[in-house]
Structure 1
Amino acid sequence: MIVAETERLIISKFVIADAPFFLELINTPKFKKFVGDRNVKTVAQAEERITNGHLKNYETLGYGFYKLLLKSENNTPIGTSGITQRDTLELPDIGFAMLPQYEGQGYGLESSKLILQLAKDVFKIPKIAAITSEHNAGSIKLIEKLGLTYEKRVKPFEDDVELMLFAKTLL
């Protein structure tokens, strides 16, 4: 189901059939390095993650992470962008990831700008966060372009890794 469109992208909800793409995306070297190894190694495990993560969030939160489809390449899936609410953070947070061959082409910024607009206008989220490693210069640059500012360091996951938290008031 299409959620929104930009000039170059279709932003769509994940479905179970997206499991092979999702598996590829979350096992890219940069995803593993900067987001973490989700220990998803099979299509069946990817289907489970989509069901228990993406689909559940759409139903319970009204939002989640979305698949990015590139219009100029017959709607080929190239990445993800969206919002989640983690139990370990007080604010919903925005995130993004691209397949390596689509990084550095502005798709993360393009999609995330629209996701922030949806967060404000549709989901009525008053303040949003973004978390990233201090070593992920590309992510920090994109987060700052979106108007989020550094607030503090957090350890939101069981791995006890400290991340930078940025935030922006929307409403």
Structure 2
Amino acid sequence: MQPSDWSFFYLLHTQPQVMQFVADLESEEKIMARFNTRSQPWSKEDNSWLTLSIVEKESGQLVGFSGFLSRWSDYKKAEVGFLFAPQFQGVGYGYESLKAVLEYAFLKCGFHKMTATVTEGNTASVALLQKAGFNLEGRLVDNYQIAGRWCNDLLFARFNQ
């Protein structure tokens, strides 16, 4: 992720349609702090996010972000995450970027397990993860609150095999 990606990062994090299954909308200051943290140099040992900008080849336009939160030190695992602009959802960018992220994490970094946490009801993310070989490992009831409503989380995983 580059400093020039800030405006797009901010835009995605302030769109209710994008954030409905992710988290409550936050202030610009909190979004900026997240951006600054995620745009730092990354090492798998740091237990931090590797956030990658996803760019459309033909136009050079940013379409979303993908990456993972490393938990290398303790477990050699990581949690994947992705966020795409509404007009680029459901057209294959999520799957292509997730395949690339998994290849990098497993083959280049040597992670053992990749996980994903999905808010129940986010059928698009569930379908994407299953297409990429993730399996449902569990369901956490009333695990997270979005817009004052308790939500269940679905836990997915894929192993380096």
Question: Normalising by the residue count of structure 2, what TM-score does the alignment of the two structures yield?
Answer: 0.81
Q: CA RMSD in A?
A: 2.5
Q: Percent identity?
A: 26
Cα deviation, residue 131, structure 1: 1.0
Cross-structure match for 1:55: 40
Supply the AA of the counterpart residue of 1:113: K
CA distance in 2, matches of 1:64, 1:153: 26
1:95 aligns with 2:81: yes
Residue 153 (structure 2) pairs with residue 163 (structure 1): yes
Q: State the 4+ residue runs in structure 1 displaced beyond 3 angstroms.
A: 44-47, 154-161
Counterpart residue identity of residue 17, structure 2: K
Distance 1:82 1:19 in 2: 16
SS at match of 2:40: helix
Distance 2:131 2:122 in 1: 14
Aligned counterparts of 1:76 and 1:156: Cα–Cα separation in 2: 37
- The structure with more strand, counted as a fraction of residues: 2
- Tell me the amino acid that sits aligned with residue 67 of structure 2: G
Q: Which residue of 2 aligns with 1:78?
A: 63
Deviation at 1:16, TM superposition (A): 2.5
* Aligned residue in 2 for 1:40: 27
Is 1:137 matched with 2:137? no
Per the alignment, residue 8 of structure 1 pairs with none
Unaligned 5+ segments in structure 2 are none
The TM-score normalised by the length of structure 1 is: 0.77
